[in-house]
Chain A
Amino acid sequence: MNALLTVEDLHVSFPGKGRRAPRTEVLRGVSLDVGPGETLGLVGESGSGKTTIGRAILGLVPVASGTITFGGRRIDGLAGRRRRALARELQVIFQDPYTSLNPARTIGDTLAEPLLGLGARAARERVATLLDRVHLPADAAHRLPREFSGGQRQRVAIARALAIDPKLVVCDEPVSALDLTTQRTVLDLLLEIQEQSGVSYLFVSHDLAVVRFMAHRVAVIHRGRIVETGDAATVTTEPSHPYTRGLLLAAPVADVAAQRARREAFERYASSAAER
């Protein structure tokens, strides 16, 4: 198996509040890998450390120990020019489409940001191609983010991530701020792009249904540790770890009878968990 991204025994901690306070361990030995053209879903609750994994891979938080290998090179601890060179291959889509675009810059300006080396004319052409690829009108380049809905802004963020044909995109809850129908169109767009370009996704989400829809394999993270990894269909239907089972049973389904059965199952699970 020749993985594109390998994370081994990753530890990340943040300074505690106050000078003497102990550091808070956010990741306690996380290992995972993402193959070329593959989507690895990373599921967890708030505070589980799932977002921190993505940020550590992108070099936005310092790594305490462990290794991150991307395309055969160690990338943990890279800084300055060498980290910037990685931008061609490693990109991100953030959760909040409202704060991830600079409100004072036009869409075209934002999209041209990763293309600064290209020259104005080539960059303009590339921006037009990108907008077309995420199904936004060409005149969007001249408008400001506030003129767009959440779903449209997320398309812009996707276009920015794709600007220089990366190999891996870290998607940090890319649809959780969007409406249901919008969510679906954005997910479909991500799948379409993957089919065309063979890009890999590390898809971070709290929503099992979204992860199941997107991912080939799923890793479940709980309190800074991966508790279960496996094939998406298996992990999301017959999880082996009790924590994952709880997550699965707690997610309500849009069907009255099925949800009643699921609720009873969750209550049984909760009471048995309380006994343990």
Chain B
Amino acid sequence: MSTPSGTPPRAPSGTSPDAPPGPLPSEPPGAPPGAPSRRSRGVPARVARHPLGLVSALLLTAILLAVAFAPALSPQPPDVSSLRDAFGGPAAGHPLGFDSAGRDILSRLLHGGRNTLGGAALALAVALALGVPAGLLAGYYGGWFDSAASWVVNMIMALPAMVVLLASRAILGPTVWVLMVVLGFLVAPAFFRLVRGIVAAVRGELYVDAARVSGLSDTRIVARHILIVVRAPIIIQVALVSGIAIGLQAGLEFLGIGSGDAPTWGAMLNEAFKNIQRAPSLLLWPGLALGLTSGALVLLAAALRDVLEDRGTHRRPPRRPSRRAAAVARAAQPHEPRAALLSVRDLAVAYPERQVVHGVDLDVHAGEIVGLVGESGSGKTQTAFAILGILPETGRIAGGSVTIDGQEIVGLPERRHRALRGNVVAYVPQEPMSNLDPAFTIGSQLVEPIRHKLGLSRAEARERALDLLARVEIADPERAFRSYPHEISGGMAQRVLIAGAMSCDPKLLIADEPTTALDVRVQAEVLGLLRRLQRERDLGVLLVTHNLGVVADLCDRVAVMSEGRIVETGTAEQVLHAPEHPYTRRLIGAVLEVP
């Protein structure tokens, strides 16, 4: 730089003249200081609070303990047989009786559990050892390893597990442990694909980029940022896959393709099945053991999913327009003449946790553009949603009155409200792209609502849609009509949405930050379009925005919102030039002067 000392010269700082002196107070905190972090309770504690989780975890623990202490708990070694007692019922010291060879069932059940569960654990260990590291590598680095690994995994998944197991028994010999290693190979793809998918998604997160820029090595990044994300899904998958491994293992043994002599639950089932005519009750105990274990694993997996992915059972609050609100609406005294098109009086919007809109009054006349200005969290979008009747699930209008075209909408049944939307009041959203369905052409997305709302034939609706596209100043309506959303620009998408909003000739348009996602030059064009539409058709517009430049450009009147309340209303000139409320002054003071 040419300047010899200090920092180089900067363009004169652009503060608007009526900015408050001194530094701006810093923004309000997201949470009150000292609010307790909700991370403190561990996973086991949270599983214990989940009813299904608690039951299944207790059951599994009991089964595991019983199997682990099999030698101590069983009345006799599993292979001791006394032919005298064959098919004998429960006797002293033998609570479950004897099997076809006169062996104690309880002993065989406990020792069999060791082999069955041990086998499943081995399969699981092999699957984890293969699938997780491979998934991490493939997801994190991508490239040739990802392609090769994915190809191998797809091939393994195409193999029928049972057939491979039967073949490997023929080749490798009838040892249950070898078969379990093979089974581990066969279920490893489940872990590979799970881990790879999650890692590839996390890999693109900005905080991983930030860690790279911070100079962390890849190993460190994986350890700090990536393992923590895959941990929960892996735990869930382990519970599910162990159920599958136990089932497959028992299936093999049941077919008589196990290790022969060693007691397992599958082998016990096989033996019982041979004697099903003589002693059907022999099926009961191994069947029960398998069923309970697998069932408990599935339920535990479900509980873990709820707990780890924070998807607890939320109680849905009753969704009905409250009668009390309707009563309030009737009681509301008109202080001033209400606008014919949209009139909001004393509107309150509440969520179960807190109220977000407090006593808002707002009027929009025909042919008028009213700006609703505020920062995020001020309640401006909630107000717009309440007017449209599209509040999220848990939100509700807690009081006040809203009339559109003379009709009270607080307490209106959803069916009649729906009739109002589109015909009388229409909506233009903030994010044009996410409001178009990528699977359908622009044309079909415009035609369907027109046919439905106006009852036109397909050809008539098509004519009307093309006419609308031309009216929102799209250069080649035919081509736009045939395009898919990914083929058009953001500005064009917003024009399409405006065309859709205009399709049933509404009287009132509610636009929620309609240009925030657009570049400035496109924004200027879309604002021009809105202005022309309003002039041509005497449209009333409620424009929700945070941009005071947009307000100056388009709005006749402005309402400034802060913390759920309207703090100031007036014409655009009044509010922008001579703001009265300290909040408005602060807002205008923060505007960086555009050169």
- Interface residues of chain A, those whose CB is within 8 Å of chain B, are 1, 35-39, 45-46, 58-60, 84-88, 90-92, 94, 96, 99-102, 104-105, 110, 113-114, 116, 135, 137, 139, 142-144, 146-152, 157, 160, 163, 179-185, 187-188, 194-195, 198, 206-210, 212-216, 231-233, 236-237, 246-259, 263, 266-267, 270
Contacts and interface: CB of A to CB of B under 8 A. Distances in A.
A97 B433 CA distance: 22
Contacts of A160: 210, 214
A30 B450 CA distance: 48
B35 A181 contact: no
Interface in B483-502: 490
A162 B47 CA distance: 41
Interface string B524-566: 1101100000000000000000111111110000000000000
Given A86-B215, A152-B30, A198 B7 contact: yes
A146 to B, nearest CB: 8
A195 B10 CA distance: 12
A236 B29 CA distance: 34
A215 to B, nearest CB: 7
Given A37-B1, A113-B214, A253 B12 contact: no
B434 interface: no
B33 interface: yes
Given A116-B220, A198-B7, A216-B7, A263 B14 contact: no
29 contacts: A35-B1, A38-B7, A38-B8, A59-B212, A87-B213, A94-B210, A99-B207, A104-B228, A105-B225, A114-B215, A116-B216, A116-B220, A147-B37, A151-B27, A157-B210, A160-B210, A181-B587, A182-B375, A185-B27, A188-B23, A194-B7, A198-B7, A209-B592, A209-B595, A212-B592, A232-B11, A246-B521, A248-B594, A250-B520
Contacts of B519: 45-46, 206
B594 A253 contact: yes
B224 interface: yes
A228 to B, nearest CB: 14
Given A37-B8, A184-B592, A143 B206 contact: no
B64 interface: no
A180 B587 contact: yes
Contacts of A96: 206
Interface residues of B, number: 74
Contacts of B548: 180, 254
A184 B590 CA distance: 6
Interface string B17-35: 0000001101111110111
B9 interface: yes
B261 to A, nearest CB: 49
Contact of B590 (A148, A183, A252, A267): A183
A112 to B, nearest CB: 10
B586 interface: yes
Contact of B576 (A135, A139, A256): A256
B217 interface: yes
A84 B7 contact: no
Contacts of B523: 250, 252
B290 interface: no
Interface of B: 1-2, 6-14, 16, 23-24, 26-31, 33-35, 37, 39, 205-207, 209-217, 220, 224-225, 228-229, 375-376, 490, 519-521, 523-525, 527-528, 546-553, 572-573, 576-577, 586-588, 590-595
Report, nearest first, the 5 A-B pairs whose CB atoms are least far apart.
Answer: A87-B215, A252-B549, A254-B548, A149-B30, A233-B11
Given A35-B8, A87-B215, A252 B29 contact: no
B29 A148 contact: yes
Nearest to B531: A263
B375 A266 contact: no
Contact of A250 (B8, B13, B213, B521): B521
Contact of A259 (B37, B215, B220, B549): B549
A239 to B, nearest CB: 9
Contacts of B10: 39, 214-216, 232
Contact of A237 (B490, B521, B595): B595
Nearest to B376: A179
Among B2, B225, B519: residue with most chain A CB under 10 A: B519
B552 A255 contact: yes
Given A104-B229, A216-B10, A180 B572 contact: no
Nearest to A258: B552
B358 to A, nearest CB: 20
Given A113-B214, A142-B37, 13 more contacts: A39-B10, A60-B213, A85-B215, A88-B215, A104-B228, A110-B207, A139-B34, A148-B31, A180-B587, A185-B27, A254-B588, A256-B577, A257-B573
B181 to A, nearest CB: 34
B213 A213 contact: no
A213 B592 contact: yes
A39 B591 CA distance: 21
Contacts of A253: 549, 552, 593-594
Contacts of A116: 216, 220
A157 B27 CA distance: 16
A271 B217 CA distance: 54
Contacts of A195: 7
Contacts of A181: 24, 27, 375, 586-587, 590
Contacts of A249: 524
A257 to B, nearest CB: 8
Contact of A180 (B11, B211, B591, B593): B591
A84 B215 contact: yes
Contacts of A246: 521
A117 to B, nearest CB: 9
B231 to A, nearest CB: 10
Contacts of A250: 520-521, 523-524
B1 A84 contact: no
B538 to A, nearest CB: 21
Given A135-B26, A151-B27, A263 B524 contact: yes
A2 B523 CA distance: 40
Contacts of A110: 207
A150 B27 CA distance: 9
Contacts of A151: 26-27
Contact of B29 (A114, A149, A207, A208): A149
Contacts of A38: 1, 7-8
A184 B13 CA distance: 12
A258 B224 CA distance: 52
A233 B12 CA distance: 8
B552 A248 contact: no
A115 B27 CA distance: 28
Which of B587, B591, B595 lies at the interface centre, i.e. has the most chain A CB atoms within 10 A of its CB?
B595
